[in-house]
Amino acid sequence: MYIRELTVQPSDASCFGQIKLHSLLNYLQDTANLAVASLEGTSSQLLARGYAWVLTRYEVELTGALPMLDDPFVVKTYHDLSHGYSTLRVFEVDSADGTPLVWAKTSWLLLDLAAGRPVRPAVHIPELAQRDTASIDPDFRDIPDFPAGVEAASVPCPIRFHDLDSNGHVNNAVYFEWVFEATPLDLMAYNVRSISASFRSGARWGERLRIQLTELPRPSASGGRDFIYRVVDEKGGEKPRTLFACSWEPRP
């Protein structure tokens, strides 16, 4: 398991003083990159060899309070290459005293850029099997379909220049910002508790996208609320680019 010690910086703190989820997701992505730097598996190392990582699934559970400004915290990560074309990676975020705060699981494809198709990481990058590996459950939570007959709300999501990553696609953490801003809740009164995402195709500069969303029924004494989302082309006519499900709870 690869372990990285971090501290919440002022630029990453929200108006509540907690680390922003967008910033935390970027920390996780950077930690994964650092974990494979000596194994020839970083984004830049793979690009030089004609490969690129493509994210397909994301699952996040907030199990405790997010770390506050100036708080130290620890990110742990390991991966599993034993699922054919998919590489699974788990992240665990703990407080300095070991209290679990966040758990996340991701699934990645290794794309051969010349052929335009996925290849098996265990074959093409065998170095990754050398360390920081452990068995990971390949199952992800299902993201529900939109209920029949329900008219979904629709919100535009403009692609900004700085949303793009080194591959020229919208970075995965940006989608979570879109989901937050589109959700019809008072974000001063609600915390996200869990998110599931299924990435179908990447978004590029100049494309015009929208988020469609609807709330699912959820009888809950706690006041929790559940929403599902899909990122689609503004003109319609195609399958969703990305699917999300998100659960929210009132702030204590």
Question: What are the structural domain ranges in the chain?
Answer: 2-130, 153-250
Convert the pLDDT of each residue in 169-204 to its tens digit: 899 999 999 999 999 999 999 999 999 999 998 899
Vertex 141: Cα angle to 140 and 145 (nearest 5): 125
pTM of the model: 0.93
Identical topology for domains 2-130 and 153-250 = yes
Statement: residue 208 has pLDDT above 80:
yes
What tokens appear for 89 in the block? 């990676």
Q: How far apart are CA 58 and CA 38, in angstroms?
A: 25
**Do 199 and 219 meet the contact criterion of CB atoms below 8 Å apart?**
no
Read off the pLDDT band of 220 (50, 70, 90). low
Convert the pLDDT of each residue in 21-32 to its tens digit: 999 999 999 999
CA 234 to chain centre: 23
User: Is the domain 153-250 a CATH 3.10.330.20 member?
Assistant: no
pLDDT at 237: 60
- In this predicted structure, which of 16-20, 168-172, 219-223 has the lowest mean pLDDT? 219-223
Q: Looking at the domain covering 2-130, what would its CATH class be? A: alpha beta
Statement: residue 219 has pLDDT above 80:
no
